[in-house]
Amino acid sequence: MPLDLLWELVKEYGYVSMFLVNWLLLFGLPIPNEFAAAFSGVVTETSYFHPVPAFLAAYSGLITSNLFAYSIGRMFGSRLIEWLQTTFLGNGVKRFREFLSQKGNWAISFSFFLPGIRWAMPYVVGADRFPLPRYLLFAMPAGFVWMFVYFTLGRSFPYAYEAILSHLQWFLIALSATVIIALVIYLNFFRKGGKGGQV
């Protein structure tokens, strides 16, 4: 979705469009989440929209989309996990579930700052039947901080935010890939046990 189309949506639907754009990003809207969050800040600096309702609309879109994805994972993902445990991926799935139960709190919070992982995490924790209150306890503050960072970036650099985010996006993608590789190594080597099978 070109950014000029975002301008048209905002002009036509105002704060509602900020909610919808940030809600639909989780389901494949072709624009990076960071751009949408920053864009909500940009329009408050370059037009008549007020920062507080704009931020709340964008943040509400982010959180409700995550909650919806969590619900989808909870309703349909457990069957997929049960099936995966009967395949050659069974040991990996088991270790990841153990990892999630032990370190899921920080993983949920940290996932908001990693492209790709941010999209997948609510489905995963929902499928694993992670307690909803506990999920919200860590997802909502992390989502608030994430949205505030990019919203503020858009307000602070309304005419340069696209260039800034283009460079930042590559760094975040590389960071996501590094985290995934590190997690795979951790689950497949260290969790199996080093010397003597103990960690």
Cα 104 to Cα 110: distance, rounded to the nearest angstrom: 10
Question: What integer pLDDT is reported at residue 57 of this predicted model?
Answer: 95
Could you report the per-residue pLDDT of 76-101, keeping only the tens digit for each?
877 777 776 676 656 656 666 666 66
Cα 130 to Cα 136: distance, rounded to the nearest angstrom: 10
Question: What integer pLDDT is reported at residue 141 of this predicted model?
Answer: 93
Higher pLDDT, 137 or 185: 137
Cα 146 to Cα 143: distance, rounded to the nearest angstrom: 5
pTM higher than 0.85: no
Cα 176 to Cα 172: distance, rounded to the nearest angstrom: 6
DSSP one-letter code for 116: T
Question: What integer pLDDT is reported at residue 196 of this predicted model?
Answer: 42
Cα 79 to Cα 128: distance, rounded to the nearest angstrom: 10
Question: What integer pLDDT is reported at residue 67 of this predicted model?
Answer: 93
Could you report the per-residue pLDDT of 135-144, keeping only the tens digit for each?
999 999 999 9
